[in-house]
Chains A and B, each alone.
Chain A
Amino acid sequence: MSVSAPDIAAKPARGFRPDLKTIGPLVALALLILLGITLNENFLSYNNITNVLARSSFIGIIAIGATFVITSGGLDLSVGSMAAVIAGVMIMVMNWLIPSFGIGWSVILAGMAAGILIGGAAGIGNGLMITRGRIEAFIVTLGTMGIFRSLVTFLADGGTLSLNFQVADVYRPVYYDGLLGIPYPILVFALVAIGGEIVMRRTSFGRHCAAIGSNEQVARYSSINVDNVRLITYILQGILVGVAVLLYVPRLGSASSTTGVLWELEAIAAVIIGGTTLKGGYGRVWGTVVGVVILGLIGNILNLQSFISPYLNGAFQGVIIILAVLLQRGGRRD
């Protein structure tokens, strides 16, 4: 009983352990960049880097939403199919509005609004079934994944939905142009990432997500409205899928049943590679950004060299995911 408070810092830390959990993804990224430079002198060129980042930005924006869902102990498997439905409906809405609005930005803005709304609505649907319906997130989003995928096939009548090519011409710069040489998708990705990191780190919502993912009971006993926080993560996920699709539609100007296939897995993979724990309780948005870039660079590097078939892209991504989880486990002792 004679011990005073300053004891908390009195015991010295037992040696410095480089925390693999924290720096692991950064080390992997650095190694990949080194590998890229050795394999091809064009690797660090402006064109190559902007190309990789712009292509990664769709998955990246979706994966930032997934970081919140996964951190709070949830899962959303429907994002790929959701993206396809949003793309399809956006195109239909824009084509349908051309007679009344004419060719121009008003049509595109209306389409964008529709995209965000549908994303949010899909998120509300997923979130309500999970929180109010008390159904496993895996089951709910597996179900909506099938529903969304089949819906886009139905809307496209088994084929492809194409945006009116004049509108597509007006819309195209949103993907291909940029500000100060940085393409818009990369800018949006960066903004979402910075915003996401701040929300995760510096708001009650972010703290509550981690608390719920860590132990839902503790969160409930600590006066956190568990259901509402969960619901918000799914809505946020839906809206971010909408944002990603806004940037994706001008790239090809079309949507079909193969749009966004396997995006959910790429997004989840990026989150996990970035160091967020799959079962929740700990998440970091910057890690997800690194994860997305790692996945993008693997494909890019395979394309830039000639020893290994680029068809093995998926295999390399798979290996990286497994390694990432293995390293995470090594980083924590119990």
Chain B
Amino acid sequence: MVDAQETSVAPILSAHRVSKSFGEIPVLFSIDFDVRPGEVHAIIGENGAGKSTLIKILSGIEQPTSGSIAFDGQTVELPPDGKAEAMGIVLIHQELNLAEHLTVADSIFLGRELKRFGFLDTGEMRRRARAVMETLHVSVDPDARINTLSVADKQMVEIAKAISRDARVLIMDEPTAVLSVSETQTLFEQIKRLTARGVAVVFISHKLDEIMELANRVTVLRDGQLIATVGTQALTPDSIAQMMVGRELSNLYPPKHEPNVDAPVVLRVRNLDAATVKNISFDLRKGEILGFAGLIGSGRTAVAEAVVGLAQKSAGEVTLNGEPVNFTRVAQSVDAGVAYMTKDRKGKGLLLNMGLRPNLTLLTLKNHLRAGFLDTSSEDRALERAVRRFDIRARDASVAVGRLSGGNQQKLMLGKTMESDPDIIIMDEPTRGIDVGTKQQIYHIIAALAAEGKAVIVISSELQEVIGLSHRVVVMRTGRIAGVLEGAEITEEEIMRYAAGIKQSGHDERISA
């Protein structure tokens, strides 16, 4: 990384005292940030720290509430809706923004198609697409349809698109979250090639080792505040982690209540096969919190959905309190006392256009019937109870839940799940995208449920969360269980070894431990 560290190089894109609020909720407080040509500047912070908002402001998708953005030394107002691309600022979203039915060449030239005599010059576009892919050393056919590509290849197409647009600033939101180790290395080589050509790269990642390898400077955000911007060589993974969290982790998680090793197994899964998972076996005991760790796409959600009947099982058996069960619809699992709380609260969990009450009782409407008709006062009482128990804060009960903060939405969804009074609760990413205070509340609720004798499965991509909560941890990798950890084995390093495939438990001998 040549001269990037020298302050003599003027920043190409910078933010000065940028703040942002959504409605009344402030998410960024007076952030200063800049990136220089040829530099990789990483942004790191916990979920909800404001990373995504910052890069949205840097790419013009969101406008800052106050503060200014300068590009090439000039104060500018970046045009919204990705039009900043024309200026050379390209954002690559985490959930890649490609039209699935177009070809690779179509995608690369989308919105600025090459034309000859007013008609599309498909030959030339294909030729240039191939040339761009060659400079990236990627072998993707320009005529292939996007929906036939792997995630890593799609990402390469996005990068090719950015290069063909002469991107001067490339902003990437967790590009490695869905990549394997070797795919990540390919991506890093591309990024290094780009910075060698003077492109400035802004890069969000949760993975400290990646940041140490790739970035020149690191900016740490916490709860919307700028904590520090420092050169990577001055850092160790430990010091970054400390800056990210900024508090004693032990306070965040409730004390672990030791589960009774003789407690009965309430849920037993044996050799379960479903669409993307194979040979899944595990036990869940009464009063236990069982963590499910693994990379995104490792099949944790698929296991949960197959167990509760949201997805089809192709083989294997599930026993509940010793009785074999085969749920084919959610209603059956709910009746049997097994509830699944989705990670996708906006897409699958809550009706965003409706108020709190219909959302809370949707799963359990039949508990609120009187002579066949809905008893809204009974629903109101349920809402009152849930508001008190889960500390849900809303202006009033009729406000559309889409306008609640993520934390309140999550607590409402938790309330909805708990309305069915389950004995076994499967929570998928229970704290995704919510603030630290709410996280802590949810952790305490989870611990209290287990102490009460409920059995809880927590699926989470945040290692700290899995470690802080779980009595045992199942680590999944590419649709299979890679290992089951307990006690002192539950460490970040150990989980990552299994999740990344460096280590693999030989057999299932420890599963029912």
| Contact surface of A with B, Cβ cutoff 8 Å | 1, 3, 5, 7-9, 11, 13-14, 198, 201-204, 207-208, 210-211, 214-215, 217-225, 281-282, 334
Q: Contact check, A221 vs B440: say whether CB atoms are below 8 A apart.
A: no
Q: Which residue of A lies closest to B354 (CB)?
A: A214
> What are 26 sample pairs from A and B whose C-beta atoms fall under 8 A apart?
A1-B440, A5-B391, A8-B393, A8-B396, A8-B397, A9-B396, A14-B395, A198-B373, A204-B365, A204-B366, A204-B374, A207-B358, A210-B358, A214-B352, A218-B347, A218-B348, A218-B351, A221-B310, A222-B330, A222-B362, A223-B330, A223-B331, A223-B363, A224-B362, A225-B329, A334-B403
B330, B369, B388: the one contacting A5 at CB < 8 Å is: B388
User: Contact check: which of A3, A5, A219, A220 meets B310 at CB < 8 Å?
Assistant: A220
User: B residues near A, CB below 8 A?
Assistant: 310, 329-331, 334, 340, 342, 344, 347-354, 358, 362-363, 365-366, 369, 372-374, 376, 387-388, 391-397, 402-403, 416, 437, 440-441
Nearest 6 pairs between A and B by C-beta? A5-B388, A223-B330, A223-B331, A214-B351, A222-B362, A202-B373
A78, B315: Cα distance in complex, Å: 43
User: Contact between A218 and B393 (Cβ–Cβ < 8 Å)?
Assistant: no
Q: Is the CB of B334 within 8 A of A3?
A: no
Contacts of B393 on A, CB cut-off 8 Å? 3, 7-8
- Nearest A residue to B330 via CB reads A223
* Chain A interface helix/strand/loop/mixed: helix
In the bound complex, CA of A14 to CA of B396 (Å): 11
Residue of A nearest to B393 (CB): A7
CB contacts (< 8 Å) of B349 on chain A: these are: 218, 221
Least CB distance, A105 to chain B, in whole angstroms: 33
Specify the chain B residue showing the minimal Cβ separation from A281. B353
Partner of B350, one of A5, A8, A218: A218
A224 CA to B348 CA in the complex, in Å? 12
Residues in chain A near residue B358, CB distance under 8 A: 207, 210-211
The residue that A223 contacts in the complex, of B329, B387, B396, with Cβ under 8 A, is B329
A220 to B351, CA, bound (A): 12
Please tell me if the beta carbons of B342 and A11 are within 8 angstroms of each other in the complex. Answer: no
Smallest CB separation, B288 vs chain A (Å): 24
Interface centre among B351, B358, B369, B396 (most CB of A within 10 A): B351
Q: Are B353 and A204 in contact (CB under 8 A)?
A: no
Residue in A closest to B379 when the chains form the complex, CB atoms: A207
Question: Which of A217, A222, A224 has the most chain B CB within a 10 Å cutoff?
Answer: A222
A204, closest chain B residue (CB)? B365
Report which residue of B391, B392, B440 has the largest number of chain A beta carbons within 10 angstroms of its beta carbon.
Answer: B391
Residues of B within 8 A of A7 (CB): 393
Nearest-neighbour CB distance to chain A for B80, whole angstroms, equals 16
**Which residue from chain A places its CB closest to the CB of B310 in the assembled complex?**
A221
Query: How many angstroms from the CA of A5 to the CA of B408 in the assembled complex?
Result: 12
Query: A21–B352 Cα gap in the complex (Å)?
Result: 17
Determine the chain B residues whose CB is within 8 A of the CB of A3 once the complex forms: 391, 393
In the bound assembly, the distance between CA atoms of A220 and B391 in angstroms comes to: 27
Q: Which residue of B lies closest to A12 (CB)?
A: B395
Using CB atoms, name the residue of chain A closest to B363. Answer: A222
Q: Are A207 and B362 in contact (CB under 8 A)?
A: yes
Tell which of B331, B374, B391 touches A202, judged by Cβ atoms closer than 8 Å. B374
Measured CB to CB, the nearest residue on chain B to A11 is B395
| Interface core residue of A3, A11, A204, A281 (most chain B CB under 10 Å) | A204
Residues of A within 8 A of B342 (CB): 221
B352 is contacted by which of A1, A201, A203, A215 (Cβ under 8 Å)? A215
Chain B residues near A215 (CB-CB < 8 A) = 347-348, 351-352
Q: How many Å lie between the Cα of A198 and that of B373 in the bound state?
A: 9
Which of chain B's residues have a CB closer than 8 A to the CB of A219? Answer: 362
Partner of A8, one of B340, B363, B394, B437: B394
Residues from chain B with a CB closer than 8 A to the CB of A201 are 374
Chain B residues whose CB sits within 8 angstroms of the CB of A198 once the complex forms = 373
Bound-complex Cα distance A77 to B369 (A): 34
B374 lies within 8 A of A203 (CB)? yes
Check B353 against A13 for contact (C-beta < 8 Å): no
Contact across chains for B353 and A221 when beta carbons are under 8 A apart: no
* Chain B residues closer than 8 Å to A11, beta-carbon distance: 395
Complex Cα distance A214/B397, Å? Answer: 18
Instruction: List residues of chain B with CB within 8 A of the CB of A1.
Output: 437, 440-441
Question: CA of A214 to CA of B402 in the docked complex: distance in angstroms?
Answer: 12
Contact A281 B372 (CB under 8 A): no
A210 to B351 alpha-carbon distance, docked (Å): 9
Given the complex, which residues of A lie within 8 Å of B369, measured CB to CB? 204
The smallest C-beta distance from A157 to any residue of chain B, in angstroms, reads 47
A204 CB to nearest B CB, Å: 5
Q: Given A220-B330, A224-B362, A8–B392 Cβ distance below 8 Å? A: yes
**Cα distance, A90 to B134, chains bound together (Å):** 71
Contact present for B354 and A210 (CB under 8 Å): yes
Smallest Cβ distance from B13 to chain A, in angstroms? 30
B511 → chain A closest CB, angstroms: 28
